Structure 1
Amino acid sequence: MSISKQAIIDAFLFRHACKEFDAERSISDADFEFILETARLSPSSFGLEPWKFLVVQNPTLRQKMLPHVWGGQKQLPTASHVIVTLIRKTGFMRYDSEYVQSFMRQVQKFPEDAALARTAILKKFQAEDFALLESERAMTDWGGKQTYLALANMMTAAAMIGIDSCPIEGFEQAGLQKVLAAEMAIDLNAWGLAYLVAFGYRKAAPARPKTRQEQAAVVQWFR
C-alpha cells in the first residue's frame, strides 16, 4: 500500500461532525460511489452483512424526515448526500434463518459441509457465547454494532478525499421509522433503524479544534 501513515492521520484530524454543509456544493457521482464501496466492503460478524443503506436524495423525503431528526436540522437540508442505515432484525440474522443459510451458500460460496460447520459455530455464538437469542434487543444491538463499522469506514474514506460528514443519532426512532415505512416502503418487521449520516462540504471551518484524551489515558499495555 502506498498511502502514508501521515495522510491517514491528517484525514482523521480533518474529519469532524459537520453541523451545516455548503448547500451549493455537491459530491460527484464517482466520489460518492467510492464512499458507498467502502461501506459495502466493510467487515461484519461472520461476514453476514446485517445492513442496508438508503441514500435519500429526494428533498421532499428529507423534509418529511426532518421533524423526527432533531440532531440533523441543519444537516438534512444542506447535505449533498444523506444515508439512512438499516439493521436486519432477528428473524433474518438467526443462525437457522433462510437469509443466513442462503447467504452462506450463495454469497459466501461455502460448500455444504463448510456451511453446516459454520452454522453450528454461529448457533453456539448466538445462543451461548453472547446469549443473543434471549431478546430482540440483544440481536438488534449485535447487528447495530456491525453497522457502525461501515459508518466509520465511510466517514474516514470521505475525509481522505476532502469530503465532510456528520453521523446522526439524534432522532425519534418510532416517528422516523413510520416515515420510512410510509414513504419508502421499508418493512419494519424485517428492518430496524441504526443511524443517519450526512455527507457534503463544510459551510465554515469547525468552531473549535478537535479534542481527544491523550493516548496514555485510553490505552493500557500488558507486556
Structure 2
Amino acid sequence: MMIDTQAILDAFQFRHACKEFDASKQIPAEEFELILEAARLSPSSFGFEPWHFIVVQDKTLRESLKQHAWGAPLKLDTASHFVLCLAMKSPFLDADSPYLPQFMREVQHHPDDIANMRLGFYKQFQQSDFGLTDERKLFDWASKQCYIALANMMTVAAMRGIDSCPIEGFKQQETETLLAEQFGVNLQEYGLAYMVAFGYRKHAPKAKTRRAMAQVVTWK
C-alpha cells in the first residue's frame, strides 16, 4: 500500500515534544489501540520483543509518579494516555535463560533444531560481538530496541493527528523502586526505559528546527 509522500512529511512536521496537552480531550479507544499495535509490531534484535508497556490512566498512580519524574508532572496532569516502557533484563535475555527457548518455540514457532541454532548465534552475539556481559549492558541494549517502538508509536500518533512527548526526565532508581512498590513491577526482570505521553496539544508548537540534510548524511 502506497502512502502519499506529503502525508508522511506532514506527520513528521506535525510531531513535536508536546509539553502540555488539552486535558479536556481524550484519544478514542480505537486510535490508542492503533498506537499500541504499532509498538507491538515493531522490529527488535533477533525478534525478541524485549519490552512491556504499562498504560497509566489511574490518577492516583499518575500522581505518585510525579515525585521522581521531574520532566513529567504537566504531562501526567493533562495527557489523555501515559505510557511507561519497561525493558527486559537478564532473566529474559541472557543467552542461557530458559525463557528464550520457550519464546522461540511458542511465539516465533521455531522447531527445536532452528531454535537451538539461533540461540547459538545469539550467544555468540551477546558474549563476543556486542560484549553484553553484564546486567547494565544488557539492559541498555534492550532499551535500544524499546526506542524503536517509541518512534513508531509517536509516528503513528502524528499520522492520526495525535500529539506525544517522550520523557527521560526521571530519577531512574527512585522511580523503579516506586514501580516495584505501587505497580507490581519485578525489578529483577524489568527496568524503566522511558515514559511517553499522548494527547492533543493545548498550544501551537514552535517552528521545527533541524540541520540541513547535507550536514547529517554522507554518501560514499
Listed as ranges, the matches of 1:83-162 within 5 Å are: 83-133=83-133, 135-162=134-161
Q: Which residue of 2 aligns with 1:6?
A: 6
What number of residue pairs does the alignment pair up? 220
> Structure 2: which amino acid aligns with 1:137?
R
Q: Which residue of 2 aligns with 1:27?
A: 27
Q: Any idea what SS the aligned residue of 1:194 has? A: strand
Which ranges in structure 2 are unaligned for 5 or more consecutive residues?
A: none
Question: Percentage identity across aligned positions?
Answer: 56
User: CA separation in 2, counterparts of 1:59 and 1:144?
Assistant: 27
Q: CA deviation at 1:91?
A: 2.4
- Distance in structure 1 (CA, Å) of the matches to 2:210 and 2:99: 41
Deviation of 1:184 (Å): 1.0
Counterpart in the other structure of 1:38: 38
Aligned to 1:56: 56
The superposition leaves residues 35-71 of structure 1 with CA deviations (integer Å, 9 ceiling, x where unpaired) of 0000000000000011000000000000000111111
Query: TM-score if structure 1 supplies the norm length?
Result: 0.97
Q: Structure 2 counterpart of 1:217, which letter?
A: Q
Deviation of 1:2 after TM superposition, in Å, equals: 2.8
Give 1:90 deviation, angstroms: 1.5
1:202 match:
201
Cα shift at 1:99? 1.4
* C-alpha distance in 2 between matches for 1:80 and 1:145: 26
* Equivalent position amino acid for 1:221 in 2: W
CA contact (8 A) 1:95 1:101 kept: no
Matched residues in 2 for 1:81 and 1:162: separation? 15
Measure how far apart 1:27 and its partner are. 0.3
SS at match of 2:143: helix
Tell me what 1:221 maps to: 219
Residue of structure 1 in register with 2:189 after alignment: 190
User: Structure 1 segments of 4 or more deviating over 4 A?
Assistant: none
2:194 counterpart SS class: strand
- Give the letter for the 1:94 counterpart: D
Offset from partner CA, 1:144-202 (integer Å, 9 cap, x none): 00000000000000000000000000001111112111111111111111000000000
Partner of 2:172: 173
Root mean square deviation of aligned Cα? 0.7
